[in-house]
Amino acid sequence: MNHFAQKLAERSIALRRGRPEILQVNVGKLCNLICVHCHVNAGPKRKEIMTRETINRIIDWLAKTDIPIVDLTGGAPEMISDFRYFIERVKELQPARHVIDRCNLTILLEPGY
């Protein structure tokens, strides 16, 4: 038995799988900042962004679920060309979904965003 499992057993804690409540989607590595702590090494010269085709596949899959929250992250999600499209497609789904935009806030000061 590993250490984690042992500690759970000592405390009579049973792990149970629940239903997913959040779908977190990393839309790419394009960002207006270069942060040392960034877990995806995002930056303004990074070109990896999610395509509309991939967005559509995510929406099609999400429509088959009842996951209530879509959490968009990146890079700076607002910098992908299909950012608004992605949100609009999510908001069309029934039941209604909540969208979280993991914005670095500095993007709001950039022209065009």
- Helix-, strand-, coil-residue percentages of the chain, each rounded to 5: 30, 15, 50
> pLDDT-based confidence at 110, cuts 50/70/90?
confident
Domains (range + CATH), the chain: 18-109 (3.20.20.70)
Mean pLDDT, all residues of the chain: 95
Per-residue pLDDT averaged across 34-57, rounded?
Answer: 96
CA 59 to centroid of chain Cα atoms: 13
> Structure pTM?
0.85
